[in-house]
Chains A and B, each alone.
Chain A
Amino acid sequence: MKPLCRELERLVESGVERLPDALQAHLTGCAKCQRVWRLHRAYQRALHAARRELTPACELPWTRVQAQLAARAVSRRPLAWLRPALGWGMAVAVALAVGAALLPWGNQQPSQGETLAQAHRSEPRALDTPPKADTTRDAAGAVSIEVQGVAPARVDLRAPAARIVAQATPHLRDSVSLHLPTPETLQSDADAIRHRRDVIIESRRSDEAAGAPALGSAPAPPFTVASLPLTPFGVSDQAASVEYLPISYGSPSSYYEGSNNEAIIGSF
């Protein structure tokens, strides 16, 4: 490339509109530079025309932009409080989970929802339960009332209310009554359930062997039974300081098995 050609190219790229005389003379003899210069001139004309072109006015009103701003602010507001709330919620959940994991279960008092085994593990026994599962009520009349699927109730029947229990099931054998397992033998809830089932099955077998009528319909699965005193307003025995925890009632066929003042409450 000749120096003049290079010079012309440099000027064209810098955007000049007129060439020096020396380069004008060069153009007449160089076809390549002529082409470059013509293209550059056409480009300049196109640019001038484009600059002169009127740009339409923007008719976008401020109110539209303002409304969009407000709408975005409103849509963003819930996220503004949701984010810290989620953070705090997660923190509380983690703290609760950690606290629950570290809390020793043995220090808690038995509640309504606690299982029988937990209740006995956590608390010294207040009742004198028989040492064996198959034995009947002890002489003092200590009976446990338990209905399947319901939290167990500890009833101190050494109070006068114990006699009501005795009257409640004249045709039932004493072996039907349930017994609390000793805490030493119960390692878990599953153990307690298994133990209770064994006791009931064994007592039913002994009843059948003795010819006693079965409670409820014959093919019924193992169930637990208890007799409770009834008052016109429901189960209550304040004089005996008997404490009953909520009990769910079984099928209607299990009602009125005893006398008018008593009911046998069963749960299948």
Chain B
Amino acid sequence: MERALAMDNLHAGAVDRTLTDEQLAAKAREGDTAAMEELYLRYRQPVFRIVYRSTRNIEEAEDIVQDVFLKAFERLHTFREQSRFSTWLMRIALNLCTDRARMRQRRQELLEREAEHKLAWCHPDAPDPMETTQQNAFYEAFYTALNQLPEHHRQMIILRDLEEMDYEAIAQILGTSVGAVKLRVMRARRAFKTKLEPLLRAIGEIE
């Protein structure tokens, strides 16, 4: 990993790193690959973190990150600079996460349907109970409840409570008002707690 990061840093030497995101985006729009690379290196990890929190799978998260940047660089001409580049990028990432979640849900439904027909299909995402230790039980409960949420609620929990973004930034990403975001966060938390309560009770966190 360190070697990959070192190589990335070496590649990115051709562009002025003091440029803002928007200046780099303007250069990238003209086909400057060094500017693209610099933008990629700046936002690879933040995008990955949000995506990983949603998927909990490194390979799937990397696939989504790649799709995010491919989509962003191919559609740079649609970036109007009315918002920040990072906001625009996060919006793309969230949309792709939503798409993936839908696909995953469809696959899940298919698996459940197949299970009803007693086919010997193994659930790929089911955690191995032997590997689930007391130490990570807390995380497991948390993310199990999170994954049970609808995508729009999950995004609110991730952006507001895990990434600790302020309401204004979330409103910009989602293209809505601050008041609407507050309402969505409140509903998401309520739904999340409903899912989380029995899981926490099962592991003895609450009585």
- Residues of chain A touching chain B, judged by Cβ–Cβ distance below 8 Å, are 13, 15, 38-40, 42-43, 45-47, 49-51, 53, 55-66, 68-69, 72
Which residue in chain A gives the minimum CB-CB distance to B192?
A43
Instruction: Name the distance in Å between A182's Cβ and chain B's nearest Cβ.
Output: 71
Contacts of A42 in B (CB 8 A): 196-197, 200, 205-206
Given contacts A43-B193, A56-B52, A69-B74, contact A51 B162 (CB under 8 A): yes
Instruction: Determine whether B45 belongs to the interface, using a CB cutoff of 8 Å to chain A.
Output: yes
Decide: A59 near B62, CB < 8 A? Known: A13-B189, A65-B69, A69-B73. yes
B5 CB contacts on chain A under 8 angstroms: 57
Number of A-B contacts (CB under 8 A): 95
- Please name all residues of chain A whose beta carbon is closer than 8 Å to the beta carbon of B115 when the two chains form the complex: none
Q: Offer 15 A-B interface pairs, CB within 8 angstroms, sorted by A.
A: A15-B161, A39-B206, A42-B206, A43-B192, A43-B193, A46-B141, A50-B139, A58-B48, A58-B62, A58-B65, A59-B62, A60-B48, A65-B70, A69-B73, A72-B70
Distance A68 CA – B2 CA, assembled complex (angstroms): 22
Question: Which chain B residue has the least Cβ–Cβ distance from A47?
Answer: B161
Give the contact stretch, choosing among B36-44, B121-129, B148-156, B168-176. B36-44
Tell me if B162 and A57 are in contact (CB < 8 A): no
Q: Whole-angstrom distance between the alpha carbons of A61 and B132 in the complex?
A: 31
Task: Report the Cα distance A186→B197, complex, angstroms.
Answer: 97
Tell me if A57 and B37 are in contact (CB < 8 A). no
* B66 at the A interface (CB under 8 A): yes
Q: Is B81 an interface residue (CB 8 A)?
A: no
Q: Which residues of B contact A50 (CB under 8 A)?
A: 139, 142-143, 162
Let me know if A58 and B189 touch, CB within 8 A: no
Q: Given the complex of chains A and B, what is the CA–CA distance between A65 and B141 in angstroms?
A: 34
- Is A56 in contact with B58, judged by CB distance below 8 angstroms? yes
The 4 A-B residue pairs with the shortest CB-CB distance in the complex, in nearest-first order = A58-B48, A46-B142, A60-B62, A55-B49
Grouping DSSP codes into helix (H, G, I), strand (E, B) and loop, the B interface class, with mixed when no group exceeds half, is: helix
A42-B200, A68-B70 known; 12 other A-B pairs, CB under 8 Å? A13-B186, A13-B190, A38-B207, A43-B192, A46-B196, A46-B200, A49-B139, A50-B143, A58-B47, A58-B65, A62-B11, A63-B7
Point out the residues of chain A lying under 8 angstroms from B36, CB to CB. Answer: 66, 69
- Is there contact, CB below 8 Å, between A62 and B37? yes
Contacts of A15 in B (CB 8 A): 161, 189
A72 to B74, Cβ gap below 8 A?
A: yes
Is the CB–CB distance between B196 and A43 below 8 Å?
yes
Chain B residues with CB below 8 A from A39, complex form: 193, 196-197, 200, 206
Q: Tell me the bound Cα distance from A184 to B178 in angstroms.
A: 89
A66's contact among B37, B48, B206, by CB below 8 Å, is which? Answer: B37
- Determine the distance from Cα of A94 to Cα of B125 in the docked complex, in whole angstroms: 57
Measured in the bound complex, the distance between the Cα atoms of B49 and A13 in whole Å is 26
Contacts of B66 in A (CB 8 A): 60, 64-65, 68
A38: chain B residues at CB < 8 Å are 206-207
Q: How far is the CA of A64 from the CA of B4 in the complex (A)?
A: 11
Q: Mark B1-31, 1 if CB is under 8 A from A, else 0.
A: 1001101100110000000000000000000
Q: How far is the CB of B59 from chain A (nearest CB, A)?
A: 10
For A59, list chain B residues within 8 Å (CB): 1, 4, 62
Cα distance A5–B186 when bound, in Å?
A: 17
From B53, B73, B143, B190, give the contact of A55 (CB < 8 A).
B53
Assess whether B138 is in contact with A49, with CB atoms less than 8 Å apart: yes
**B45 to A, closest residue via Cβ:** A58
Contact in complex: B142, A55 (CB < 8 Å): no
By a CB distance below 8 angstroms, the chain A residues around B44 are 58, 60
